[in-house]
Structure 1
């Protein structure tokens, strides 16, 4: 098929590769414009932009698709279908209507649960047992279109957003190739009205760890916000991100000394008391440093039993 590909971040790159490997003709690649990055603040192309250049594909990065001239240029590509995955711009109706078979979106949740910007983060933070990929026929509403194909994936007890991101990206790539191969035979299924939830964009203000919360919630927050923006605590005036954790099984907050047990380090292996239960901190990062496993971290930044980990407001 003649395909317009629309995507921007690393999540989208395996999908572009899969479409090329499947033999589809890529009429053009749309992505977000290059933006300043790094110490020199030079414009850096997005991951999809860079990969498209490697594949010698035409790249377009308009700041908006609302202009009639942009919509006309899109229509002139005469595509059979557009494949959209984490593109980052709202598609006007004229764009949705231009390809012969419309626009298909690869969404990283089991719709109608977690429509919106951050479905992977929100699924982990909510304690969902499953998430998945949906191939959706796009319409004007936010992730409201009928679903053509779906595949569920289990969320493991130590899965982070980074790990789940990679699995879902590969699944999405496989599923869109299957969908395009059988597109004429697929029956769109309208999303039910029940079970709708919205995955709001992650706000950095959410990332502070509240040790008074139950351990299960603290663990979900740490894993759901890893690697970005990274859940954090402070100690000795330093902010420290936690990038991996698990529920502690051998200790509970009741073993911590004093009345301020939540946030107390228990033992010598970075087990931390919470409002209920405790969590093991497995991977951490100090400001200006690289991420480290807990053993390496503790050699350079000891946190002895009885140390209190705090939020900035304390």
Structure 2
């Protein structure tokens, strides 16, 4: 097929590569514009999809909006068979959705209608879901409301958002390739709107660890926000991120260190961070962290 690809972050990269490997004619890529990043935030940084498309010799477009008649006409003129969308980052107006012959197909990182919206992987982990997955959806004007063409499932277990994102990106890439092969034979299934849940965008204000919550919730909170924005607590006025943790034995006043190996009491039970990071320092395993940061039994964490 003649494919226009629309995506921006690392999550979208495997799908673009898989489409090219499957010998589809991916002749144009839409992605978010380069933005300040790099050293001291001064250099404009291209999205991961932009960088891959350039290596593959594919035309790249990065409009700030698709709402203008001019941009919509440019898109329609591409005369694509299908647009494949994966975490693009812009709303697609109806003329864009209608332009490709087979419409726009989206790689969404949840089992729809569960976790529609911006942060499905974070929210799935934080909510304690046992299973998540990827849905290939025929896009329409609503937020992730379109008919479903294919799904794949995977256990959440104790994975972080970073780990699960990598896994779902690969699963979604292969599922999209298979969907395009079988597109004529697939029967689209309408979503049950009454069963829908919404994965709102992660707010950095959510990142502070609330030790009054049950230990299992605290672990899920930590894993759901790892690696970004990173759940954190304060120690002697310094912010410490926890990027991985496990349940621990013991109980006590919430936020109190229970032993010399950094078991921390929660509202119910306790957790033990296994990987931590102080501001301006690299992340490190707990034993290495404790060698440089003495946190004794009885210390109170905020």
Regarding TM over 0.5, the answer is: yes
1:223: how far off? 0.4
What residue number does 1:252 align with? 250
Q: Which residue of 2 aligns with 1:6?
A: 6
In the alignment, structure 1 residue 166 sits paired with structure 2 residue 166: yes
Q: Distance in 1 between matches of 2:300 and 2:60?
A: 52
Q: Quick check: 1:128–1:155 contact (8 Å CA) kept in 2?
A: yes
Q: For the Cα contact (< 8 Å) 1:252–1:276, is it kept in 2?
A: no
Q: CA deviation at 1:27?
A: 1.9
CA distance, structure 2, for counterparts of residue 305 and residue 14 of structure 1: 46
Deviation, 1:193, is 2.6
Residues 259-301 of structure 1, C-alpha deviations (whole Å, 9 max, x = no match): xx11111212221110100011011110001111111111111
Match of 1:289 among 281, 284, 297: 281
Distance 1:116 1:213 in 2: 26
Superposition TM-score, scaled by structure 2 size: 0.98
Is 1:303–2:295 an aligned residue pair? yes
Which whole-Å deviations, capped at 9, do the CAs of 1:226-281 have from their partners, x for residues lacking one? 00000000010100000001112xx221xx4xxxx111112122211101000110
Matches within 5 A, 1:23-62: 23-38=23-38, 39-62=40-63
TM-score after normalising by structure 1? 0.95
Q: Which residue of the partner structure matches residue 92 of structure 2?
A: 91
Q: Deviations over 1:85-138 (max 9, x none)?
A: 000000000000000000000000000000000000000000000110000000
Q: Counterparts of 1:12 and 1:216 in 2: how far apart (Å)?
A: 31
SS in 2 for 1:173: helix
Residue in 1 aligned with 2:207? Answer: 207
Question: For structure 2, which runs of at least 5 residues remain unmatched after alignment?
Answer: none
| 1:40 Cα offset (Å) | 4.9
| Matches of 1:99 and 1:130, distance apart in 2 | 33
**How far is the alpha carbon of 1:304 from its aligned partner?**
1.3
Listed one character per residue, the Cα deviations across residues 17-45 of structure 1 (whole Å, up to 9, x for unaligned) are 00000000012000000000121511110
Instruction: Give 2:239's aligned residue.
Output: 239
Cα deviations by residue, 1:190-233 (Å, 9 ceiling, x for unpaired): 00133210000000000111101110111110000000000000
Q: Which residue of 2 aligns with 1:143?
A: 144
Aligned 8 A contact 1:135 1:149 in 2: yes
Query: Which structure 1 segments of 5+ residues have no match?
Result: none
Structure 2: distance between partners of 1:40 and 1:145: 38
Poorly superposed stretches of 4+, deviation over 3 Å: none
Query: Is the contact made by 1:222 and 1:243 (CA closer than 8 Å) also made in structure 2?
Result: yes
